[in-house]
Amino acid sequence: MSTQRPRRAVVTGIGVIAPNGLRADAYWKSVREGLGVLDRITREGCEHLPLRVAGEVRAFDAADLIEERFLVQTDRFSHFAMAATVLALDDAGLGAVDPEEAYDIGVVTAAGSGGGEFGQRELQKLWGQGSRFVGPYQSIAWFYAASTGQISIRGGFKGPCGVVASDEAGGLDAIAHAARGVRRGTAAMVVGAAEAPLAPYSMVCQLAYPELSTVEDPDRAYRPFTKGACGFVPAEGGAMLVVEDERRARDRGAAVRAVVAGHAATFTGASQWERSREGLAHAIRGALAEADCAPEEIDVVFADALGVPAADRAEALAIADALGAHGTRVPVTAPKTGIGRAYCGAPLLDTAAAVLAMEHGQIPPTPNVFDICHDLDVVTSNARPAELRTALILSRGLMGSNAALVVRRGGDLAR
């Protein structure tokens, strides 16, 4: 009789729709090269707003991957999520779902602002023309559950379906939710987040964030950990992953890309950035404990990197608090400075980058960031070759949540 090892949740597929690349390989190439793609916002009706720079997903045609009947009834944020799902499933080698297995595959997304562009269009019809002009898809396109529902329907996935929200940190919470679902018995979860916040009214809402950067020079607008830190630049896009039971993945011969090893989340209050030091450190310790991981085992940190001086300081101190002396030695990176923060899509993009970095043995740089004013080893300018077995990904939400995720390289597992 053998003792059954607890089920382990592994990443077997990655799908990315990002401002700097429309597939995991294109995204990784841009991230590794430190390409900065922040640029003037070109979405219709946004030109006059005092937020000029963002990370836009350009040259994206959802119809390349998704049937038009799904596209007419969904917002851009769901287009991103559905397209990223197609890429992730393809990457994982998962084809059409076997009806026998439908209940074994679930879907969970993190929600940020929902279908804002679609919603604004319907609000305009309602208030400009009358209630009879509101279409039948408003009831299913604007709300936060739209992407999970459509992914489930399109893929035939009847497993546990969920939607979580904790602003940016919600992206890591979703990954943890999926991993727990796998540990509880679901064979695989399609998980991730994508956002499309660059519509006129959505941008007006974001202008209220005190942390938002409205600097008009793309190279200077988002520079965390430097003296030039002036807030964050928003972005659209995100990533979807396939998180799967390790044994099932091996049985079907899928490549195990990474292990979702540990996660924890805490709360320290909206815009209480000094207090986020304690909250983030607590989350890091919790994630390390769940992963059974010593601080010294962390080979790279993907930072939250908000770009607000008090928040950057809190994050640097939290890393030191939780990792001890190792905290000042461990390489830290924030590829999102080249693409902006896609709200809850951002930590999904970071997790994708972390998995790819471990696979390629290279730590990607932090674009536009050179003059570090904190006691951190931030990787700047060029990618740094390194043996990476374990990565720590950090995220904080603008409403006060803190989250940490530990992922381990897939190839290192005992077979």
Write out the binding residues for another protein, residues 281-300 only, by CB under 8 A: 282
Contact 7, 246 (CB under 8 A): yes
Q: Cβ of residue 249: shortest distance to another protein, in angstroms?
A: 22
Does residue 117 contact residue 236 with C-beta atoms inside 8 Å? Answer: no
Residue 179 β-bridge partners: none
166 counts as binding another protein under rule CB under 8 A: yes
Q: Whole-angstrom Cα distance, residue 383 to residue 32?
A: 6
Q: Which of 270, 329, 361, 375 binds another protein (CB under 8 A)?
A: 270
Contact call for residue 163 and another protein (CB under 8 A): yes
Q: Does 264 bind another protein (CB under 8 A)?
A: yes
Candidates 142, 222, 225, 232; binder of another protein (CB under 8 A) is 142
Residue 311: partners with Cβ closer than 8 Å, 6 or more residues away? 211, 273, 276, 304, 396
- The answer to whether residue 131 forms part of the interface with another protein (CB under 8 A) is yes
264 bridge partner residues:
404
For position 85 contacting another protein by CB under 8 A, the verdict is no
Q: Which residues contact residue 15 at a Cβ distance below 8 angstroms, ignoring those fewer than 6 apart?
A: 23, 24, 83, 84, 85, 86, 87, 88, 89, 90, 91, 192, 239, 240, 241
Q: How far is the CB of 25 from another protein (least distance, A)?
A: 29
58's tokens:
């350009």
Q: Does 149 bind another protein (CB under 8 A)?
A: yes
56 versus 195: smaller Cβ distance to another protein: 195
Residues paired with 244 in a beta bridge: 10, 188
Q: How far is the CB of 258 from another protein (least distance, A)?
A: 22
Among 153, 252, 329, 371, binds another protein (CB under 8 A): 153
* Residue 58 CB-density burial (10 A; 0-12 exposed, 13-18 middle, 19+ buried): exposed
Q: Which residues of 338-364 are buried (b: 16+ CB within 10 A; e: fewer)?
A: bbbbbbbbbbbbbbbbbbbbbbeebbb
Hey, which residues between 17 and 56 contact another protein (CB under 8 A)?
A: 44-50
CB of 203 to another protein, least distance (A): 8
> How many residues form the binding site for another protein (CB under 8 A)?
94
CB of 365 to another protein, least distance (A): 30
Contact status: 217 vs another protein (CB under 8 A): no
Task: Report the site for another protein in 186-205 (rule: CB under 8 A).
Answer: 200-205
Is residue 144 part of the contact set for another protein (CB under 8 A)? Answer: yes
Please, which residue, 202 or 213, has the CB nearer to another protein? 202
* Candidates 16-24, 85-93, 267-275, 313-321; binding stretch for another protein (CB under 8 A): 267-275
Closest CB 150 distance from another protein, rounded Å: 7
Strand duo 331-333 + 377-378: pairing: parallel
**Binding string, residues 86-125; x marks residues near another protein by CB under 8 A:** ----------------xx--xx---xxxx----xx-xxxx
Stretch that binds another protein, among 143-151, 234-242, 293-301, 314-322 (CB under 8 A): 143-151
**Residue 262 interacting with another protein (CB under 8 A):** no
CA dist 2 → 5, 6, 248, 251 (Å)? 9, 12, 18, 19
Q: What is the nearest approach in angstroms of another protein to the Cβ of residue 295?
A: 19
**Which of residues 34 and 115 has its CB atom nearest to another protein in the complex?**
115
Q: Is 113 helix (H, G, I), strand (E, B) or coil?
A: coil
Torsion angle, alpha carbons of 381, 305, 373, 218, to 10: 60
- Which residue in 6, 95, 130, 253 binds another protein (CB under 8 A)? 130
Q: Residue 239 belongs to what H/E stretch?
A: strand 237-245
Distance of CA 144 to the CA centre of its chain: 16
Identify which of residues 167 and 304 has a Cβ nearer to another protein in the complex.
167
Q: For residues 53-72, which are near another protein according to CB under 8 A?
A: 67-72
